[in-house]
Amino acid sequence: MITLGTNWFWDTLTLRETVEATFVKISGANSFEVAGCEGRSCWLFSSMDDALGKKKAFRPDGVIISSNILTPLPAFGVEFNIKEVKGPVIHSPIRSEEGLKNLHPIVLERLEFVGESLKILRQEVGGHAVVLGFVGAPWTIATYIVEGGTTRTYTTIKSICHTAPYIVSHLTQTIDDYIMFQVESGAHCI
């Protein structure tokens, strides 16, 4: 187990000391086959295998399971597809109080594969590396859910912030629950 004060990561987070660090990007689409990858879980599992492989090869101070930021959406009632070229497409964008009724509290059992992956990764790295969880920012997730997909103008989400700010608040609380789930499952931080 990593303890405070014995690891540069924790020392840096708690402002005890700073360490010069070199960041090497060792992830990417070439690490796994994206073609034919339907659904959402393939991103997570491929990335977990990738994280374990790189952990063994490079012995980093931290490892992360990087997943699609929309992974938790179906667990609280937002269904989507990822279309080639177009990207994520939300089946029923949430743009009103009526639409918000289609959402429900996050069902963490539907994300058990995330929790199990974090537990496995935490066990694999032992006390030799920090396990980082991964969550999309509430604003980014809210933008997808309200706009119905990618956007360059953010017109609808900007309007929602003025006419129905409770939608963004609701989504933020849901993402908070997902963050806590990841920490409880083994992530040292997000």
Exposed, middle or buried, 75 (CB in 10 Å: 0-12/13-18/19+)? buried
Inter-residue contact 71 to 114 (CB < 8 Å):
yes
pLDDT of residue 13: 72
pLDDT of residue 43: 39
Tokens 């980014």 locate to: 140
Domain-by-domain residue ranges, the chain? 8-185
Arithmetic mean of pLDDT, 84-103: 87
The set of residues, in sequence order, having a beta carbon less than 8 Å from that of 152 and lying 6+ positions away, is none
HSE-CB at 101 with a 13 A cutoff on CA atoms is 3
- Band of the pLDDT at 166, cuts 50, 70, 90? confident
pLDDT of residue 7: 65
State the architecture of 8-185 in CATH terms.
Alpha-Beta Barrel (3.20)
Its pTM stands at 0.73
Arithmetic mean of pLDDT, 83-95: 90
Q: What are the C-alpha distances in Å from 178 to residues 65, 87, 183?
A: 14, 23, 9
The set of residues, in sequence order, having a beta carbon less than 8 Å from that of 128 and lying 6+ positions away, is 59
More confident residue, 22 or 182: 182
* Per-residue model confidence as pLDDT tens digits over 100-149: 888 889 999 999 999 999 999 899 888 878 888 999 988 899 999 999 99
Q: Please give the Cα distance from 116 to 111 (Å, whole number).
A: 9
